[in-house]
Structure 1
Amino acid sequence: MTWLDVPRTHPFGIQTLPYGSFTTPDGPVPRVGVAIGDDVLDLTAAAATLLPEQAGLFAAGGLDPLLAAGPPVWAAVRAAVTEWLTEPRHRAAVEPLIVPASEVSLLLPFTVADYVDFYSSEHHAANVGRIFRPGSDPLPPNWKHQPLGYHGRAGTVVVSGTPVVRPAGQRRTADGEVVFGPSTRLDIEAEIAYVVGVPSTPGRPVALGEFADHVFGVCLLNDWSARDIQAWEYTPLGPFLGKSFGTSVSPWVVPLAALEHAWVAPPPRDPRPLPYLDDTGRTDGLDLAMEVRLGGHPIAQPPGAGMYWTPAQQLAHLTSGGAPLRTGDVYASGTVSGPEPGQRGSLLELTWNGAEPLTLPGGETRAFLEDGDEVVISGSAPGPGGTRVGFGEVRGRILPTPQTSDQEGPEQLRP
Structure 2
Amino acid sequence: MPRSPGYKRSPASKPKIEAALDIKGLKPRDDIRVLDALEQEDVFVAAKTWQRFWEGKQNIHRSTFAKICQFLGLDWQEVVEHSQNPVPDDPVPADPNFYGRSTELAELTSWVTNPHCRLIILYGLAGIGKSSLVGKLIERVSGSFQRVEWKKFSYGDSVQSTLIDLLQQLDSQNSGGELNLQQLKQRLWQQLQQRHCLIILEQEHNEHTDKFDDYKQLLRKLLQAYGKPHQSCILLITSYEKPDEVTAVANHRDAAKSMRLGGVDVATGLEILQSKEPKLLENRPAAAELVTRFDGYPLALKLVSSHIRDRYNGKIADFLSHLSVPESIEGIIKQQIEDLDEPARKILDILTDKEPMTQSQLHDACCESIHSDLDFIRAKDLLERRSLLCRYVGDTDDGREFLFGLAPITKQAIYSLK
Tell me the TM-score normalised to structure 1 length.
Answer: 0.27
Larger Cα-atom Rg: 2
Which structure has more relative contact order (CA 8 Å, sep 6+)? It is: 1
Tell me the TM-score normalised to structure 2 length.
Answer: 0.27
The structure with the greater share of residues assigned to helix is: 2
The structure with the greater share of residues assigned to strand is: 1
